[in-house]
Amino acid sequence: MTLENLSKKVAIEAQKKLRDGGIHAEVIIIPYKLNDGDVKKEPKDMMEFLEEVLMMPKGSYLIHNRKPDIVALRQIGAVLLRKFYPAITVKQIGLLYGFDHSTICWSLDTAQDRIDTKDSTFHPKYIRALKEVHAWLAK
**pLDDT average, residue stretch 50-59:** 96
Give 11's pLDDT tier (boundaries 50, 70, 90): low
Q: Calculate what percentage of the chain has a pLDDT beyond 90.
A: 64
Q: Please name every residue paired with 48 in a beta bridge, in sequence order, or none if there are none.
A: none
Give the three-class secondary structure for 33. strand
Q: How many domains does the chain have?
A: 2
Are 74 and 59 contained in the same domain?
yes
Tell me, yes or no, whether 65 and 1 share the same domain: no
Tens digits of residue pLDDT in 28-44: 555 544 444 445 788 99
Q: What is the average pLDDT value for the chain, to the nearest integer?
A: 85
Between the two ends of the chain, the Cα-to-Cα distance in Å is 31
In angstroms, how far is CA 60 from the centroid of its own chain? 13
Dist CA 105 CA 90 (whole Å): 7
Answer yes or no: do 25 and 84 share one domain.
Answer: no
User: 42 and 96 share a domain?
Assistant: yes
What are 69-114's pLDDT values in tens digits? 999 999 999 999 999 988 899 999 999 999 999 999 999 999 999 9
Phi, psi of 89, deg, nearest 5: -100, 165
Higher pLDDT, 108 or 138: 108
User: At residue 41, what are phi and psi to the nearest 5 degrees?
Assistant: -120, 95
Whole-number Å distance between alpha carbons of 89 and 71: 19
Contact 82, 108 (CB under 8 A): yes
Instruction: Output the pTM of the full model.
Output: 0.74
Asked if residue 8 and residue 44 are part of one domain, the reply reads no
Domain of residue 2, residue span: 1-30
pLDDT at position 138: 85
Task: Say if residue 26 is in the same domain as residue 37.
Answer: no
| pLDDT given for residue 38 in this prediction | 47
Domain of 55, CATH number, reads 1.10.1750.10
